[in-house]
Every structure is written in C-alpha cells, then in structure tokens.
Amino acid sequence: MKMHRYIAAILVFGLAQFSWSSPIMVKTPTMEQGKQTLQYGSPSSAGMDGRVNELIDQVVEASLAARETSGAVVLVARRGVIVHEKAYGYRSIIPTQEKMTTDTIFDLASVTKCVATASAVLKLVELGKVRLDDPVYKYIAEWKNAPEEKKTLEDIDKLKRFVRQGLVKIEPGFTVSENTSTSAIALLKSAKEKPTELWKRLWSQGDLRLAEKFFDDYVAARTYDREAVTLKHLLTHTSGLDAYDNYYLKFPARHARQAIVQNIAQRPLRAPAGKQFIYSDLGYITLGEIVERVSGMSLDAFCRKFLYEPLGMKDTMFNPPPDLHPRVAPSEWRVPPAGAKDAAVKQKYMIRGEVHDGNAFVQDGVSGHAGLFSTAHDLAVFVQMLLQGGSYGNARVFSPLTVRAMTTPQVKLDDGTLRGYGWDVSSSYSSLRGDIFRTGFGHTGWTGTSIWCVPEENCFIIILTNRCHPDGSGNVSALRAKVANVVAASIIESDSEPNAQDE
C-alpha cells in the first residue's frame, strides 16, 4: 500500500512539473488562461508546420507583384504564440517611398465596428446601462415614428384586418394565361404597344391576378415600423437600414454628426426589423452616437478607458496625433467635393494620419462605423483577449459570457447568414476565412484590413494592408483567403474535437 502511494505521489508530482514547465498549455484546466500574454515562438511550438512562414511569404509577395496592394503586415498566432509577424512592401509610395514596418499604424476602416463600437456597446450592457432589446428611440428620440407614419401604420393594420375578416377580397393565387409563359415583350400586341400597356391589357382580360402574398408584400413595402428597431438589430445589421449614404457630400463641413444621425433616424427602412441582413454603416453610426449619449463620453474616450488602456494597446486610437503620422500608412487622395463652398476640404492631398472614410471625416474622425487606427500587434492583444474569455495579462475587460455573445451567432437568417454582436460568423463577407477553416469569427475593413479568429484551433490571422494607396485600386480579397488556407493547412496538431467543425 505504501509503495502504491509512493508511486502515485511521483506521478502527481511529475504531471504537475510538466504542467508548470510546458510552454504551451492551452487545454490545461488549471491554467489561469486570462493571465497568459502573447509570446513569440516557432510554428512547431504551436503545433504548426515549420514551412508556414515561407508559404505566407510567397503568397504575400505574389500579391505585391500583382499590385493588389502596396504593402502589408501579416501576423499569425496560435496557442498564445505569435509564429509569424512580418512587414512586406511599402508603407508609402507617394509622395515618398517608405518601407513597410511591423509597427505601422493602419486606418482600420470597418474593423472599427467590432474592435470599438460593438465592444463599447457590450461594455455598456455589462455595466447595466443599456439592454440590447431596448428600442433605438429610447436613446435617440428622432427614431420615433412621425404622426403621419403612425397613421399609415394604423391604416395598414386596419386593411390587413379587413382582409383576414373577408371584408376585402384578394385573389388567393397568382395566375397568368398560357401565352405569357415566355416574356412580356414577346407578347406585345404590336410593335408600338408599351410594356405598361401590355400589363394593363392582361389585367383587363383576366389573364393576370394578384396573389395575397403579393398584396402583403406591397402593403408592407409602403412603410416599416422604425420603432421596432433595437440595439440588437443595429449590432447584427438586421435593422432594415440602408447600407450607406454619401453624407460627406450632403454635409461636407466638419462637425456633421448630429445632422447625419438625424437623417438616419428619419430614413424609411428597406426591410422590417430582424428579417434581412443589410450590412449597414448607418446602423453603426447610430450605435456610436448611442454610446456617447449613454456614457457621457466620446466614443474614443470610452474605448480608451474601458478597452485599450487596460490592455496596453498604446497604438490604438481615433485621430492619431501628428507625432505618430510618420508611422501611419497613407491611403489615397482626398479631393474637395464639387460645388461645396463650405467644405472642410479646400484642396487635393494624400490622406495620412486622418480617417479615409468620408462620412467619418465629416464627423471629426470619430464615428461608430470607421475611424479607428491600430497596429497588428495591438490587434493581436485584443483578439487574444477574446480567445482567453475577456482577459489578458492582469486585465479583464469582458466576462467570458459576453465574449461568447459577441463572437457566436446571435441571429440566423433564412439565407444562412450568422452574425454575432459586432463580429461576422458566416455571411457573404466571410471569404477571408478561406476554404479550409469551417468556423470562427472576424471582420474586414475597406482600406484592406482584416481579422479572422478560429477559437476551436486557438488561432487567429491579422492582415493589415494599404490596398487603397495611392489610387484606391487595390484588392486583397484573394490574399486574405490564400493566407487563411496556408495557415489552416499548416496546423498539424488540431485542438478541435473530431467533427467539431462540421456541427
């Protein structure tokens, strides 16, 4: 019996020693995951094929040769180990040529949505300041329906009720005569008969009847209830708002935030809340405004206090100060808007150190949809924090449950679109994950920036490019997918359970 206890003690001691000394301890239950910080190491130390770095080099160099971008910084990490961090090409080619460096600061464009705005909203949720099911009008009064809109909605409800009660008759089916089986133009009675006249004739002859669904769709398209839109809808791009508007042309002077927010609040919706995925800058402009109204702080100050400073992200900010501009990758030319006498832009210049997005520019560089600047390493810290359930080093910025809500599906639409709170999971914007990774979350930015993270493999890829420099003609969609494929194929020690990625 004593011998058995002695052997057991040796085994326990040996296992403990292994746990303490092993450099990669992703799955050890007793490890304090949140206190882990990123370290540099070889691919093999992270369970990856040692050739991954060479293959990434080849993919990026080919992209540069094809002039898909002027330069790039690529960072790959797995199991808390940065296995690849390298600069390629040029940070600037106009007006002067400058080599790209790993500490280059990039305009993140729409990556702002997840790393700043959505994160700020979820922090307000954690602080008990907002609920995601709160209607937008609770924070922005202009979102309430105008009296005439309320009257229209009431009339539509009344008409629908009459239809249900049989007081208004609608044909139950949509039928056409046999001679309409080809096309409308082919049925023209004469060469002079207009298409509109054709449809009137078919209607009068009884060859064409409206279906009830057609009627419902038509009535619904007259107006959608703006008061039904919640913060959750804005976060998941299911509010029904338009994708974009050229506000920098409508309001070309600076300090245009309130005019833009008011315009968005009064726009008719394109779809009912929660029914359709329309990737919308307008929704995130609205979320940025809500963060400021609720917190009493600017969006940049709020994010700095609650997110970036605790994580030590010193190079992440809106409106980088002039002393950092030499490290900022320029984008493209900014030109004065035609015919705008009071525009903030008076003459053409190369954008550097200020936001590329025109709508963020007229909001003084701080907006919920764009405006954040950062480096690859700062973003790596942020993503590693998410992988570790909301903490990094000695800082905790989110609960593990909050991170899960942000990065896993919170809406699933009929077309298969999956969105978390701020992060893309699976949609028409997910091509950056490549062809091998089946899961994960991420985001892209118009200027050529992207993040894709695969929690099942404790892995993430950050690609920051200046694809807009100098003339906006670059395209790095293929580059993102190819790098993701190389990284996925290099994983030789999988951390995911068998079939986990097929669930």
What residue ranges do the domains of the chain occupy? 33-131+314-338+349-497
**Alpha carbons 14 and 12: distance in angstroms, whole number:** 5
Q: Which two tokens stand for residue 164?
A: 């249900």
Q: What is the structure's pLDDT at 344?
A: 84
- Four-residue CA torsion sign, 198, 203, 205, 207: positive
CA distances 240 to 79, 268, 281, Å, are 39, 9, 12
Q: Which CATH superfamily, name and number, covers 33-131+314-338+349-497? A: DD-peptidase/beta-lactamase superfamily (3.40.710.10)
For residue 497, the model assigns a pLDDT of 76
Distance CA 4, CA 475 (A): 66
In the chain (503 residues long), the average pLDDT of successive 10-residue segments reads: 41 35 33 76 98 98 98 98 98 96 98 98 98 98 78 62 55 42 46 60 61 56 82 98 95 95 94 95 98 98 98 98 98 87 87 97 98 98 98 97 98 95 97 97 98 98 97 96 98 82 44
Cβ-contact 170, 163 below 8 angstroms:
yes
Which tokens is 60 given?
Answer: 């990026």
**C-alpha torsion angle, residues 397, 402, 408, 413 (rounded to 10):** -130
By C-alpha distance, which of 263, 269, 270 is closest to 286?
A: 263
H or E segment at 310? helix 309-311
Instruction: Produce one character per residue of 337-351: b if its CB has 16 or more CB atoms within 10 Å, e if not.
Output: beeeeebbbeeeeeb
Work out whether strand 39-40 and strand 81-92 pair parallel, antiparallel, or are unpaired: parallel
Sign of the CA dihedral with 267 first, then 282, 472, and 485 last: negative
Q: How far apart are alpha carbons 407 and 419 in whole angstroms?
A: 8
- Dist CA 120 CA 125 (whole Å): 9
